[in-house]
């Protein structure tokens, strides 16, 4: 509001009005410039040179300056500028090296005024003196800048940059005699118009060509430069050495830069290639553009603020042959879309979390992290009261440390390394992975693998799956070994060892465990029934007839039948492999009377309670085992999502890879990609390069498999001379050939 | 297929020019003795190159650092006449072949082979066949294009166009490569491939233009090397050695002529440099001048009857073709003059609308990081390289001459600079030089020593190598500009 009123005064009581609009040009534009009355704009390009009136609702073509029998190269404009003192005076820079001035006051149709053919190469920029009516400056590809007095036929003085081509020249707005020029080689020079012999000052501003520069309209000595190195820099030229005050990193080379009127720290940029948007940056906030205009479909080639005292109207021309007026209120503001929270894991499992002050304050009332917040540390950024975003930018950073050893992720590393993801039949993969999980004491996961195997391997295999478990029981069954893995890892000795490991490794909150230990154990018993005992029965009995009874054993669904099966189970020693811990409240009630309680098992039961859900979904699946495995895919997908949501993206991805086509189609691409990238990221954090590469390779997601197409080189150095090797082997050619 | 086994006769090591062939046909008994062409180049006396090399430690250092073979190959030796440039060249080549990049190493060499095969450049093919195998390439691929993955095969079309008529490349070609499902190229890969193709097309120009000899000590034959064939007719080599000596010793009568030529050229350069163009040439005039050069370049080669190879003749007698053609399809596809088809649709590429500095660089660097800087440095280097000498004269500003060479090459590819007066080309480049330029950039495989010798007779060899460098880089840039413009259009 305050700004608006200022604008009104600046404009002498008549504020600009208009809306976001565009009009089609006949040809791509190379540059635009605004008349000082803020009501006309000139557009110039290789084959266009027109003046448009800016009306309330639309652009209206007012004058076509490309007249004459034949188009001349003099009309092929690289740049155009409208004099800010004289409404009738324009100048263009032609690609053939000619500087042309135009006088709109001429009565004839041809408004061409003067022609300066002094440059030998393309003229990249022309610039009128801000206050002098007759002074024009040009900068050319030939490395020279020339100053013209429009009352004379030739240039008044020539400035040699002693370097490659000049990309931009700009008169200082505040210092009458000064102008800045930017060069192809990254230099910026400061000249005094009275001293053509040598520049006052020179410094390297960018790496590669500096395409543009702009003097700050109010702050004396502030110069913004933009370069091919994708940076916008703001220099303070008042100090003896040019000082870089701000630096904005954009995403593409910067073609034009223009300070925003009435907003001290704002500037607008557009880029030379690839990126078509116009950005308005607050230079103090170099990472997120303050505003963004996305109207153009090809690169924007010219931008101009409509009025030197109005910050709301921006005009632009583009290669897509359109002229646009952008209103600031219609700009999209990336800040709004930015996620104001940040979260990051440290190397040892510490978590840092930053969020808006208000957000944190509100949440801390509810204590969402009460259980985990062991040593919260708060930092608060000291705010510059002058900063305009103090409301936005103020945030709190909390760091949550893990207790030493508490965040051990060795299970993750082991799992990642030992899982088999491809190259064998599905059944074997599942068995192998189940075994791995079991050995690491992750019984829930092991169970899941086993179930996947049951679901997805042909009906005939159901029996073999169960068989495995019975075999696992020990040789007492006397059945032939089907899976040697199972046999090995299910010997009682090993089992208890695993359990031991787990109790050492698992440092989850003990309170939970204690509270529900009894229940948990009961649940285990049930699990056991399902996983190992009954299958044994089933094997010994009639296969077809018993099939149904195998599945109802799921604790949740078949409680009434439970006693029947629980009884035989007691004949067997308890096994650790079925230690999953459904801990939903219903279980607490149902199985409190289970007979077996053992300390070690209680310990083992302390898996994350969340796991129970997946178990539930699988039990659904088991229930309907006669259905084609397709039927389960929905449930399996739910299970995967569940794992992923619980943070075990490893499981989600591994299952996804192992099952491949069977489930892939049921999970949308984006989710898959998300999982893959998270998992890969995690793997790389643990330096598991091989595994991560394997995962990349096995992934079917296009974006993911691209990851290892970016670079395929493995550098090997010669063991003698330490130079990069060109061929295979251990020493390079010059040693190998005896030379 | 001449690989392995049978040792070819000495005569078969050289292509025969039409003239000699006629003679041979008449008299079958004629024996052609193998000319003595030792040293890295068939055009340049060995001592010229070697002298330069022995003194230059810098070169040795560069070879140590960047050469892939660990030794000084013939190309490097000849280029080392311009050490400054050599560094940029080796660095960029090393980067695109060895360093981090989107394509696997064997692919890179195979692409180099495909590119060199377009110009039947057996020198480069052999070099990269070795490298291909060393980097773990599958030997079977070397049997020809039918044996390579479809993905590589798809590159054939763009290879063909890029080599001979880059102006025909459209965004549809890019789309076809990028969006074909199974065998698609990712954009970074494609850019890498395009850079390699352009590099090796241009390098083939240099190899033929400088008469690079086959490496003397070919490593153990792996069965895939092509018989090293010099594309220079024996008669050339025999004759021209004399001319060579003559012009160098200065005892020949021809020298007077050429000296005055040189002076005249320098005079013209000076005039162009100082003279402010008083009369303003109209756009029409400028356009006409450009079109004239463009069109004239048409007749430049065909006018040279002695060394022209009419199409049919050229094909049926090519010894190498059968061997080389397994890496390419459509071997008959060649440079077609730009201006030949319908006058009204001359596709002129306006240089100012898509320049290397503004556009090409940004795109290439975005998709294949850092190569942009290396190429940028190389282009800049070659464009600005000067010793301010011309033949025996010193303190000469050769800018106009270098610019004329560079722009003339671009002109043949239809790239026009608004700020260049193509009349200058006419004034600065004599006809024999134009013939040479046209041949080296458009049909390098037809370059002969006679062409090399016939222009600028009084100039030093190192200066002629300098010309070759300019031609090579101008050609590479032209190809890149067309390809990158197509990619940009595909992106927008």
How far apart are the CA of B253 and the nearest CA of chain A, in angstroms? 40
Cα A506–Cα A508–Cα A512 angle in degrees, nearest 5: 130
Q: Check CB contact under 8 Å for B135 and A272.
A: no
Asked if B362's CB is within 8 angstroms of A120's CB, the reply is: no
**C-alpha to C-alpha distances, A228 to A257, A273, A401, B366, B386, nearest whole angstrom:** 12, 10, 43, 11, 27
pLDDT of residue B216: 65
**Are the beta carbons of A272 and B101 separated by less than 8 Å?**
no
Nearest to B357 among A70, A209, A728 (CB): A209
* A364 burial via Cβ count (<10 Å: 0-12, 13-18, 19+): middle
Q: Which of A73, A228, A723 sits opposite B418 (nearest CB)?
A: A73
Q: Closest-CA residue in chain A for B136?
A: A728
Which chain B positions have a beta carbon within 8 Å of A78's beta carbon? 352
Residues of A with Cβ-Cβ distance to B419 under 8 angstroms: 95-97, 119-122, 141
Find chain A residues with C-beta within 8 A of B72's C-beta.
Answer: none
- Of all residues in chain B, the one with the smallest CA distance to A710 is B102
Contacts of B60 in chain A (CB under 8 A): none
Q: Is the pLDDT assigned to residue A454 strictly greater than 90?
A: no
Per-residue pLDDT reduced to its tens digit, A218-242: 888 899 999 999 999 999 988 888 8
B136 contact residues in A (CB cutoff 8 A): 728
* Pair A354, A341: CB distance under 8 Å: yes
Measured between beta carbons, the chain A residues lying within 8 angstroms of B137 are: none
How many Cβ atoms are within 10 Å of A288's Cβ, its own excluded? Answer: 15
Beta-carbon neighbour count of residue B121 at 10 Å?
28
d(CA A46, CA B354): 12
The distance in angstroms from the start CA to the end CA of chain B is 46
Q: What is d(CA A617, CA A316) in angstroms, rounded to the nearest whole number?
A: 57
Q: A274 and B363 in contact by Cβ < 8 A?
A: yes
Query: Looking at beta carbons, which residues of chain A come within 8 Å of B70?
Result: 726, 732-734
Q: Do residue B105 and residue A712 have CB atoms under 8 angstroms apart?
A: yes
| Nearest alpha-carbon partner for A278 in A248, A258, A306 | A258
> What pLDDT is recorded for position B467?
92
pLDDT in tens, chain B (492 residues): 444 333 444 444 444 455 545 544 444 443 433 444 567 788 887 777 766 555 567 777 777 777 666 667 888 888 888 888 988 999 999 999 988 888 988 999 999 999 999 888 888 988 898 889 888 888 888 888 888 888 888 898 899 899 988 888 998 999 988 886 777 888 899 999 999 999 999 999 999 998 888 876 555 445 555 555 444 444 444 444 433 433 333 334 444 566 677 778 888 887 777 765 545 556 667 777 777 777 666 555 543 333 334 333 333 333 444 566 777 777 777 776 655 554 445 577 888 889 998 899 989 988 888 899 999 999 999 998 888 888 778 888 888 899 999 999 998 888 988 888 888 888 888 888 888 998 898 888 888 888 888 888 888 888 899 999 999 999 999 999 999 999 999 987
Contact A95 B419 (CB under 8 A): yes
- The pLDDT of residue B457 is 83
| Chain A residues with beta carbon closer than 8 angstroms to that of B417 | 122
Please state, as a whole number, how many other Cβ atoms lie within 10 Å of the Cβ of residue A147.
Answer: 22
With an 8 Å Cβ cutoff, are B70 and A726 in contact? yes
Which chain A residues contact residue B69 at CB under 8 A?
726, 733
Provide the pLDDT for residue B5.
Answer: 39
Closest CB to A122 among B188, B352, B366:
B352
Flag if A733 and B131 touch (Cβ within 8 Å): no
**Is A712 close to B69, i.e. CB distance below 8 A?**
no
Q: How many Å lie between the alpha carbon of A329 and the closest alpha carbon of chain B?
A: 27
What integer pLDDT is reported at residue B394 of this predicted model? Answer: 82
Q: How many CB pairs under 8 A join A and B?
A: 112
Chain A residue closest in CA terms to B65: A723
Residue A377 has pLDDT above 60, yes or no: no
Alpha carbon of A702: minimum distance to chain B alpha carbons (Å):
10
What residues contact residue A488 under an 8 Å CB cut-off, 6+ apart? A494
DSSP designation for A247: E
Q: Please say if the pLDDT value at position A670 is more than 50.
A: yes
Of A532, A529, A550, A543, the closest CA to residue A486 belongs to A532
State how far the Cα of A698 lies from the Cα of A695, in Å rounded to an integer. 5
Catalytic annotation, pick one of B17, B20, B121, B235: B121
Contact A274 B366 (CB under 8 A): yes
Give the separation between CA B115 and CA B109, rounded to whole angstroms: 10
With both helix axes pointing from N to C terminus, report the angle between B371-384 and B187-209 in degrees, rounded to the nearest 10: 30
Specify the 3-state DSSP secondary structure of A60: strand
| Closest residue by Cα to residue B429 from B408, B444, B458 | B408
Residue of B nearest to A723 (CA): B65
Sign, CA dihedral B279-B285-B290-B295, equals negative
Q: Is the pLDDT of residue A53 over 90?
A: yes
Residues of chain B with C-beta less than 8 angstroms from the C-beta of A733: 69-71
- Residue B148 phi/psi, 5-degree rounding, is -95, 160
Residue B273 vs residues A107, A116, A129, B428: alpha-carbon distances, Å: 39, 18, 31, 12
Q: Which residue has the tokens 């829930």?
A: A444
The answer to whether A72 contacts B282, with C-beta atoms less than 8 Å apart, is yes
Q: How far is CA A725 from CA A729, B137, B397, in A?
A: 8, 16, 43
Q: Any idea which of A335-349, A609-623, B463-477 has the lowest mean pLDDT?
A: A609-623
The answer to whether residue A315 scores a pLDDT higher than 70 is: yes
Q: Is B233 in the active site?
A: no
What is the nearest CA distance from A476 to chain B, expressed in angstroms?
Answer: 53
Average pLDDT of the segment spanning A357-379: 49
Question: If you compute the radius of gyration of chain A from its CA atoms, what whole number of angstroms results?
Answer: 37
- pLDDT tens per residue, range A379-422: 444 444 454 554 455 677 777 776 665 556 788 888 888 888 88
Residues of B in contact with A272 (CB under 8 A): 358-359, 362
Q: Do A273 and B359 touch (CB under 8 A)?
A: yes
Contact residues of B toward A, CB < 8 A: 64, 68-71, 98-105, 131, 134-136, 186, 188-189, 276-277, 280, 282-284, 286, 350, 352-353, 357-359, 361-363, 366, 373, 376, 417-419, 488, 491-492
Give the Cα separation of A702 and A720 in Å (integer): 41
- Inspect the interface and report whether the beta carbons of B419 and A727 lie closer than 8 Å: no
**DSSP state for residue A89 in the 8-state scheme:** E
* DSSP H or E run through A301: strand A300-307
By Cβ distance, the residue of B71, B100, B353 closest to A711 is: B100
Of A532, A518, A523, A522, the residue nearest A577 (C-alpha): A532
Question: By mean pLDDT, which of A137-141, A618-622, B394-398 is the weakest?
Answer: A618-622
pTM exceeds 0.95 for this model:
no
Give me the percent of chain A exceeding a pLDDT of 90: 26
Determine whether the interchain pair A209/B358 forms a contact, defined as Cβ–Cβ distance below 8 Å.
Answer: yes
- Give the Cα separation of B454 and B435 in Å (integer): 10
pLDDT for A193 beyond 90: yes
| pLDDT number for residue B300 | 54
How far, in Å, CA of A168 to CA of A272, rounded?
A: 14
φ, ψ for residue A296 (rounded to 5)? Answer: -80, 150
Whether B70 and A273 lie within 8 Å, measured CB to CB: no
Interface test mutation site (partner A, options B376, B419, B485, max chain A beta carbons within 10 A): B419
C-alpha separations of B180 from A532, A705, B168 in Å: 50, 16, 21
**How many other C-beta atoms lie within 10 A of the C-beta of residue A362?**
11
Amino acid A688: pLDDT: 84
A362 vs A561, residue with greater confidence: A362
pLDDT of A648? 84
Measured CA to CA, the distance from residue B141 to residue B224 in angstroms comes to: 10
Interface test with B, best of A274, A294, A296, A696 (most B CBs within 10 A): A274
Flag if B492 and A297 touch (Cβ within 8 Å): yes
Cβ separation A228–B362 shorter than 8 A: yes
Residues of B within 8 A of A119 (CB-CB) are 419
Which residues have C-beta within 8 Å of that of residue B109, sequence separation ≥ 6?
B97, B128, B129, B131, B132, B135, B137
Helix or strand or coil: residue B487?
helix
Measured between CA atoms, the residue of chain B closest to residue A118 is B276
Contact B118, B201 (CB under 8 A): yes
CA distance B73 to A193: 54
Whole-number Å distance between alpha carbons of A176 and A490: 90
Interface test mutation site (partner B, options A67, A120, A721, A729, max chain B beta carbons within 10 A): A120
């Amino acid at each position: 509001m305050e700004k608006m009123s200022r604008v009104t005064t600046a404009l002498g009581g008549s504020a600009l009005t208009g809306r976001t609009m565009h009009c089609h040009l006949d040809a791509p534009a190379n540059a635009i410039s605004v008349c000082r009355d803020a009501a006309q704009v000139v557009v110039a390009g290789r084959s266009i040179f027109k003046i448009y009136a800016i009306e309330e609702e639309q652009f209206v073509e007012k004058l076509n300056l490309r007249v004459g029998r034949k188009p001349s190269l003099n009309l092929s404009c690289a740049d155009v500028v409208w004099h800010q003192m004289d409404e009738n005076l324009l100048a263009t820079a032609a690609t053939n090296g000619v500087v042309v001035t135009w006088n709109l006051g001429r009565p004839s149709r041809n408004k061409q005024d003067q022609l300066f053919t002094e440059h030998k190469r393309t003229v990249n920029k022309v610039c009128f003196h801000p206050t002098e009516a007759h002074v024009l400056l040009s900068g050319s590809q030939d490395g020279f800048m020339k100053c013209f007095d429009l009352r004379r036929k030739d240039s008044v003085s020539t400035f040699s940059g002693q370097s490659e081509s000049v990309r931009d020249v700009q008169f200082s707005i505040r210092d009458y005699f000064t102008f800045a020029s930017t060069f192809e080689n990254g230099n910026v020079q400061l000249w005094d118009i009275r001293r053509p012999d040598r520049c006052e000052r020179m410094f390297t501003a960018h790496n590669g060509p500096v395409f543009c520069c702009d003097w700050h309209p109010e702050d004396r000595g502030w110069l913004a430069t933009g370069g091919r190195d994708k940076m916008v820099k703001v220099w303070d030229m008042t100090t003896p050495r040019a000082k870089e005050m701000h630096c904005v990193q954009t995403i593409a080379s910067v073609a034009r830069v223009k300070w925003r009127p009435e907003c001290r720290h704002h500037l607008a940029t557009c880029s030379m290639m690839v990126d078509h948007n116009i950005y308005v940056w607050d230079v103090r906030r170099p990472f997120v553009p303050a505003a963004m205009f996305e109207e153009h479909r090809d690169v924007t080639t010219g931008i101009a603020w409509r009025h030197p005292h109005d910050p709301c109207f921006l005009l632009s021309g583009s290669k897509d042959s359109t002229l646009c007026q952008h209103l600031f209120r219609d700009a999209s503001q990336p800040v709004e879309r930015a996620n104001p929270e940040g979260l990051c894991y440290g190397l040892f499992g510490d978590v840092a979390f930053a969020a808006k002050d208000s957000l944190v304050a509100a949440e801390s009332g509810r204590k969402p992290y009460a259980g985990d917040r062991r040593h919260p540390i708060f930092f608060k950024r000291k705010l510059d009261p002058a900063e305009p975003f103090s409301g936005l930018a103020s945030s709190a950073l909390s760091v949550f440390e893990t207790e030493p050893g508490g965040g051990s992720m060795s299970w993750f590393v082991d799992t990642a390394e030992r899982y088999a993801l491809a190259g064998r039949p599905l059944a074997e993969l599942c068995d192998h992975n189940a075994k791995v999980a079991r050995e690491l004491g992750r019984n829930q996961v092991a169970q899941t693998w086993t179930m996947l195997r049951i679901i997805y391997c042909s009906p005939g295999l159901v029996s073999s799956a169960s068989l495995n478990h019975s075999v696992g029981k020990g040789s007492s069954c006397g059945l032939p070994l089907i899976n040697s893995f199972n046999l090995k890892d299910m010997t009682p000795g090993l089992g208890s060892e695993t359990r031991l490991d787990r109790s050492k490794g698992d440092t989850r909150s003990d309170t939970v465990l204690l509270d529900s230990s009894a229940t948990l154990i009961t649940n285990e018993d049930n699990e056991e029934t399902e996983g190992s005992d009954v299958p044994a029965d089933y094997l010994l009995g009639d296969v077809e007839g018993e099939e149904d009874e195998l599945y109802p054993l799921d604790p949740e669904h078949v409680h009434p039948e439970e006693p029947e099966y629980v009884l035989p189970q007691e004949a067997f020693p308890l096994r650790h492999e079925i230690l999953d811990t459904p801990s939903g409240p219903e279980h607490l009630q149902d199985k409190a009377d289970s007979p077996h309680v053992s300390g070690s098992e209680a310990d083992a039961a302390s898996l994350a309670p969340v796991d129970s859900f997946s178990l539930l979904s699988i039990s659904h699946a088991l229930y309907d085992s006669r259905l084609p495995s397709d039927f389960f895919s929905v449930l399996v997908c739910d299970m995967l999502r569940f794992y992923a949501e619980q943070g075990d993206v490893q499981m989600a991805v591994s299952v996804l890879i192992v099952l491949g086509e069977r489930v892939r189609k049921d999970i949308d691409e984006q989710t898959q990609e998300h999982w893959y990238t998270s998992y890969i990221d995690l793997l790389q954090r643990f330096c598991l390069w091989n595994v991560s590469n394997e995962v990349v390779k096995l992934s079917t997601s296009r974006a993911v498999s691209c990851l290892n197409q970016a670079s395929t080189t493995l550098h090997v150095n010669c063991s003698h001379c330490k130079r990069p090797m060109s061929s295979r082997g251990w020493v390079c050619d010059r040693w190998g050939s005896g030379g | 297929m001449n690989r392995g086994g049978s040792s070819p006769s000495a005569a078969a090591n050289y292509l025969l020019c039409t003239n000699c062939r006629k003679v041979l046909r008449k008299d079958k008994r004629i024996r052609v003795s193998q000319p003595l062409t030792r040293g890295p180049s068939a055009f340049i006396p060995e001592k010229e190159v070697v002298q330069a090399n022995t003194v230059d430690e810098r070169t040795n250092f560069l070879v140590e650092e960047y050469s892939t073979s660990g030794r000084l190959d013939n190309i490097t030796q000849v280029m080392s006449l311009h050490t400054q440039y050599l560094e940029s060249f080796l660095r960029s080549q090393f980067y695109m072949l060895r360093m981090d990049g989107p394509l696997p190493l064997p692919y890179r060499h195979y692409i180099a082979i495909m590119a060199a095969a377009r110009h039947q450049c057996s020198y480069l093919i052999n070099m990269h066949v070795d490298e291909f195998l060393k980097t773990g390439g599958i030997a079977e691929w070397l049997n020809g294009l039918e044996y390579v993955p479809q993905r590589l095969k798809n590159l054939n079309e763009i290879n063909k166009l890029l080599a001979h008529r880059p102006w025909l490349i459209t965004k549809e070609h890019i789309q076809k490569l990028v969006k074909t499902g199974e065998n698609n190229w990712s954009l970074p890969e494609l850019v890498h491939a395009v850079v390699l193709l352009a590099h090796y097309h241009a390098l083939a120009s240099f190899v033929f233009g400088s008469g690079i000899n086959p490496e003397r000590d070919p490593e153990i034959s792996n069965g895939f090397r092509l018989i090293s064939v010099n594309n220079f007719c024996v008669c050339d080599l025999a004759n021209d050695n004399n001319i060579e000596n003559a012009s160098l010793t200065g005892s020949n009568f021809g020298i007077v002529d050429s000296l005055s030529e040189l002076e005249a050229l320098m005079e013209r350069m000076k005039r162009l440099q100082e003279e402010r163009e008083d009369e303003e040439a109209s756009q029409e005039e400028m356009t006409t001048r450009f079109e004239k050069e463009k069109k004239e370049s048409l007749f430049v080669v065909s006018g040279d009857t002695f060394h022209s190879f009419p199409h049919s003749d050229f094909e049926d007698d090519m010894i190498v073709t059968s061997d080389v053609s397994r890496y390419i399809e459509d071997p008959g596809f060649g440079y077609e003059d730009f201006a030949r088809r319908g006058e009204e649709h001359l596709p002129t590429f306006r240089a100012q609308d898509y320049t290397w500095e503004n556009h090409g660089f940004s795109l290439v660097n975005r998709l294949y990081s850092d190569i942009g800087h290396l190429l940028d440095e190389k282009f800049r280097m070659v464009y600005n390289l000067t010793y301010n000498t011309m033949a025996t004269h010193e303190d000469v500003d050769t800018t106009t001459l270098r610019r004329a060479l560079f722009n003339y090459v671009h002109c043949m590819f239809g790239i026009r600079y608004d700020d260049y007066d193509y009349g200058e080309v006419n004034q600065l480049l004599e006809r024999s030089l134009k013939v040479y330029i046209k041949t080296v950039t458009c049909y390098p495989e037809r370059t002969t020593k006679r062409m090399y010798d016939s222009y600028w007779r009084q100039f030093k060899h190192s200066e002629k190598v300098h010309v070759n460098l300019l031609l090579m880089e101008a050609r590479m840039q032209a190809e890149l500009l067309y390809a990158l413009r197509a990619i940009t259009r595909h992106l927008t």
